[in-house]
Amino acid sequence: MPECKKCGAKVKEDMSFCPNCGAPLREAAAVAPQPSAPAPPPTTYVRHEKEEKSEKGEKREKHEKGEYGWIGPFIGGIILIIIGLVSYLEVTNVLNQTTQQILWAVFIVIVGILLIFGAIYAMTTARRRYPQT
């Protein structure tokens, strides 16, 4: 059984690397690199004016879609503030059971109102930006 030239560990004949130290077991000359085919010539792209205009339009559309991205985080922030305030008041026992139930009902109503106002705002801005002809 052959041994590793670097660490002396016994290895099998069909192994390429020593399992103990990771040193290569075969000679570098034994593994001759295969000649590679020549690289193909680089491809040149011709850009047309119409393609460039359509790309600019796509960039504009992407920008417009992200323009009203503040509505969701705003509503989410309001919801988190209300949940945090009500939870704090519950933990500190400031509220009795009836008041807690009323606050959660008011919270649900406020969330509904915020969602409706957000939808109305998005609808009106969309109509102003893209009027129907």
**pLDDT of the chain, 133 residues: tens digit per residue:** 788 888 888 888 888 888 888 888 877 444 445 666 777 777 776 666 666 666 666 656 655 555 556 777 778 888 888 888 888 888 888 878 888 788 888 888 888 888 888 888 888 887 887 777 6
Domain ranges of the chain: 67-129
Identify whether the C-beta of residue 26 lies closer than 8 Å to the C-beta of residue 16.
yes
Give dist(CA 61, CA 54) in Å, integer: 11
Please answer whether residues 34 and 43 qualify as being in contact, where contact means their C-beta atoms are separated by less than 8 angstroms.
no
Tokens of 56: 């600019």
Confidence (pLDDT) at 110? 87
Question: Which pLDDT score is estimated for 29?
Answer: 40
Taking the C-alpha atoms of residue 111 and residue 107, their distance in angstroms, rounded to an integer, is 6
